[in-house]
Structure 1
Amino acid sequence: MTDTLAQQSALPKVAILFAQYAAFHVDRVEAAARRLAGRAEVKAVEYATSSETYAWEPASGFEHARHVTLFPGSSYDDVGHLARYRAAMKAVADADMVCVGVPYSERDIIALSWRLKAAGTRCVMMTESKFDDFPRILPREQAKARLLSCYRAAIVGGLRQREYLRFLGFGDKPILPGYDSVGVDRIRAQGTGSEARWADRHFLYVGRFVEKKNLPVLLAGYARYRELAGPAARKLVMAGDGDLREALEKQAGEGVAFTGFLRAEQVSRRLAGALALCLVSTEEQWGLVVNEAAAFAVPAIVSTAVGARDVLVRNGVTGFVVEPQSVEGVARAMLALSQSEPAWQRYSDATAARAHMGDVERFADAVEALFDPDSEGATRALDFWDEMATS
């Protein structure tokens, strides 16, 4: 055991930092740690156990990465910037490469990234931000570009994220795909046995009930779909909770069911029996639930704002891409997916064929590419850009 620990301590170190770890974060760091086993030690660093934004269960299941919680039992939002900076700097001080998955605009992250640059540590930005998330102001973007110049590489979700970083001055710096990924095998295992017959499948929304999710339009689109489909209309299940729940329940008509907040395993079981996932947000950097739906070969109806469409949704092939405010567009997409089992099966088969593109092995490829540019993972990461753009 002593010899093993000594060998590990002599290996290069890769730290992966998040505000709070959920199951999909564990998926990513474990995939990276397995990939770099014997070549580097991967340290999974999280600031806190909980947060005000996400009701995730405490992270578990670490086998290959070394897990460190800087403020165990605390909420991320209750820890001050200075305390977060000091704790994170101490935790990653011995790392050769630090991948940062906390918003780059946080004051402690700004200080941390520039301190790492000064120390000669390779600092890698992980982001799902894209230009079209909301209106951009040029002076602010120019200041942001200077702020981000300390990062030496980036791992992003898809094409729009890559182009946004190029706009922000990343130029020839490595920008690799695979950030927004989930453990497809884990997701499938959670939903095993919950598959439904064609006749019993339903439309499904999973997420928070907040304004940017555009849920009034989804409900209006569903109501219009019921007019078009008549007695054959499928139900719509709204899985989640939030401040808008009461208003949404008042708007919802016949055929809409609300489940409340669901744990990860319950979400997987719902997805396994769904006809289609519906995510028509006005702002959505990515939308990992699209990855989860693809794991079960469930087509998706997404808005143009959803980042995951760049990788996982092909309009008319694996689902439909609609304008966020188009009630009729939502309705017609629902109708197209619900009328014919053979037609739905074609969408499902095409979705299954793309599911690997949202798997954590893509994140492992990106980390390996930055660690060893001559590796097979590096080749796959670069090829992934072409697959994303042309397939």
Structure 2
Amino acid sequence: MTNPGRQPTIGLIWTQFSAYHVDRLEAVGRRLAGRARVLSVEVASKSATYAWDPSGDVAGTEKKRLFPGESHEAIPIWRRFRTELKVLRQCDVIFVGVPYSEPDIIALSYILRMLGKRVVMMTASKFDDFQRQASREYFKRLLLTPYSAAIVGGRRQFEYVRFLGFSNRTVLPGYNTVSMERVRQQAQDGGSEPAFDERSFVFVGRFVEKKNIERMFEAYARYVHAAPQRAKRLNMIGDGPLRAAIDAQCARLGIMHMVDFPGFLPAAKVSAQLARSLALVLVSEEEQWGLVINEALAVGLPILASAEVGAREALVRNLENGIVVEAGAIEGMARGFARIGDDEGEWRAMSEASTARGWHADTERFADAVELMVFPGAEPAATDNARFAAEILIDPSRVACV
């Protein structure tokens, strides 16, 4: 994979760094310290999609921000490609988290492969994200030809990448992870935790159609009106284009007095709010993964999730650390609210199960996958990755095709 006696250089590139990306990069930096040079490559400081705070240093790695102060979408494609290639051609292995459909990334993957580099795709996509077209899927297989391997989130992501032509290429789970240590420390810094009766359900995310917020509120209203004296509040962390429609719906359903809207919050405040909550609610119609579930496990929150959420197989065990429903099952969601919110004993059992599930959600699983791509067979990464694969129902013998 690399020349004996020479320390390899690896690069990990994303469009923009959030706290999640920094978590993963720092885990890789710790894991490969003294064995590899790690470049953290951030294309731009901001984007039109996410209003994340600018990232700072990334411990254990050499951070390279290619276009400081600029928005990714405003940078010409050719300029992006030229700058990305200049930095990444010095690497032996390149891990690509920018969408593979971006024109500069298409060209970059082919050129880097021609230069003898190993290019690894990182993705959370799964087949059921939306309606797929056969011709488009065939074209994707051609776009992905230069990639030597892939790191994916869980079982559905694994099967989709295999479908896209990776049947004889290494595919490892562990991509969608968050630092359990960071979230827990931020939660502790946020103050003491309230009693069961003082906690609220919590939603964290953008107010957009795919989050299925309209049905979620229909279900929450049924729960509130069925037992108004016992009903727990709902905390809606985030904002977005549906905010006005959400306000109108809350007023129509008679639940405005039960719902709080603190707006978008920085990562540290989200961690603190999660630690003071009753359960996380994420019942999206479309959700590639849902990293807020990882954060919720860090502080032991039960999860009310839809089956469509990509993190479901890896992080949510139905009736163990949460409840899984279909995105269209309004009555099922209402019963989920009641089951978690009305029984403190069951809530505590689910909370303990969520804490135990945190091993699967932690950035160490991502570091396992990256380490194995650079140093195949390394222990204990190989054992831990095989355990992770087996526990999310991926046959470990299928993850490491050389």
Q: Which residue of 1 aligns with 2:398?
A: none
* Alpha-carbon distance in structure 2 between the residues aligned to 1:378 and 1:61: 29
Q: Which residue of 2 aligns with 1:133?
A: 129
Q: Which residue of 1 aligns with 2:91?
A: 95
CA contact (8 A) 1:44 1:67 kept: yes
* Alpha-carbon distance in structure 1 between the residues aligned to 2:387 and 2:275: 30
CA contact (8 A) 2:279 2:303 kept: yes
CA contact (8 A) 1:194 1:269 kept: no
* Alpha-carbon distance in structure 2 between the residues aligned to 1:50 and 1:143: 30
2:295 counterpart of 1:295: no
Q: Which residue of the other structure, out of 214, 218, 221, is the alignment partner of 2:219? A: 221
Counterparts of 1:177-256 in structure 2, within 5 Å, are 177-192=173-188, 193-252=191-250, 253=255, 254-256=257-259
Q: Which residue of 1 aligns with 2:102?
A: 106
- Letter of the 1:69 counterpart: R
User: What's the CA shift for 1:335?
Assistant: 0.4
Q: Deviations over 1:126-173 (max 9, x none)?
A: 000000000111111111112111101101100000000111110021
2:27 counterpart of 1:38: no
Report the 3-state secondary structure (helix = DSSP H, G, I; strand = E; otherwise coil) of the residue aligned with 2:172: strand
Counterparts of 1:1-391 in structure 2, within 5 Å, are 11-192=7-188, 193-252=191-250, 253=255, 254-376=257-379, 377-389=381-393
Report the 3-state secondary structure (helix = DSSP H, G, I; strand = E; otherwise coil) of the residue aligned with 1:204: strand
User: What's the CA shift for 1:82?
Assistant: 1.0
User: What's the CA shift for 1:196?
Assistant: 1.8
- Letter of the 2:120 counterpart: V
CA contact (8 A) 1:47 1:69 kept: yes
Moved more, 310-319 or 57-66: 57-66
Report the 3-state secondary structure (helix = DSSP H, G, I; strand = E; otherwise coil) of the residue aligned with 2:278: strand
- Say what the alpha-carbon RMSD is for the aligned residues: 1.3
CA contact (8 A) 1:228 1:335 kept: no
* Alpha-carbon distance in structure 1 between the residues aligned to 2:227 and 2:122: 43
Report the 3-state secondary structure (helix = DSSP H, G, I; strand = E; otherwise coil) of the residue aligned with 2:144: helix
The list of structure 1 runs, each at least 4 consecutive aligned residues, that deviate by more than 3 angstroms after superposition, is: none
Q: Deviations over 1:274-326 (max 9, x none)?
A: 11100111110000000000000001111111111111101111101111111
CA contact (8 A) 1:372 1:378 kept: no
- Letter of the 1:171 counterpart: S
Q: Which residue of 2 aligns with 1:3?
A: none
Q: Percent identity?
A: 49
Report the 3-state secondary structure (helix = DSSP H, G, I; strand = E; otherwise coil) of the residue aligned with 2:59: coil
* Alpha-carbon distance in structure 2 between the residues aligned to 1:206 and 1:326: 20
- Unmatched tracts of structure 1, length 5 or more: 1-8
Report the 3-state secondary structure (helix = DSSP H, G, I; strand = E; otherwise coil) of the residue aligned with 1:389: coil
Q: Deviations over 1:233-283 (max 9, x none)?
A: 001111101111011011112411111111111111110011110011111
User: What's the CA shift for 1:388?
Assistant: 1.9
* Alpha-carbon distance in structure 1 between the residues aligned to 2:160 and 2:58: 33
Q: Which residue of 2 aligns with 1:4?
A: none
Report the 3-state secondary structure (helix = DSSP H, G, I; strand = E; otherwise coil) of the residue aligned with 2:268: helix
- Unmatched tracts of structure 2, length 5 or more: 395-402
TM-score normalised by L of structure 2: 0.93
- Letter of the 1:246 counterpart: A
* Alpha-carbon distance in structure 2 between the residues aligned to 1:345 and 1:305: 26
* Alpha-carbon distance in structure 2 between the residues aligned to 1:10 and 1:386: 34
TM-score normalised by L of structure 1: 0.96
* Alpha-carbon distance in structure 2 between the residues aligned to 1:356 and 1:374: 21
Moved more, 178-187 or 56-65: 56-65
User: What's the CA shift for 1:25?
Assistant: 0.5
- Letter of the 1:238 counterpart: M
User: How many pairs were matched up?
Assistant: 382
* Alpha-carbon distance in structure 1 between the residues aligned to 2:210 and 2:173: 25
Distance 1:153-1:302 versus aligned 2 partners, 3 A rule: same
User: What's the CA shift for 1:227?
Assistant: 2.2
User: What's the CA shift for 1:215?
Assistant: 0.6
Report the 3-state secondary structure (helix = DSSP H, G, I; strand = E; otherwise coil) of the residue aligned with 2:207: coil
CA contact (8 A) 2:57 2:63 kept: no
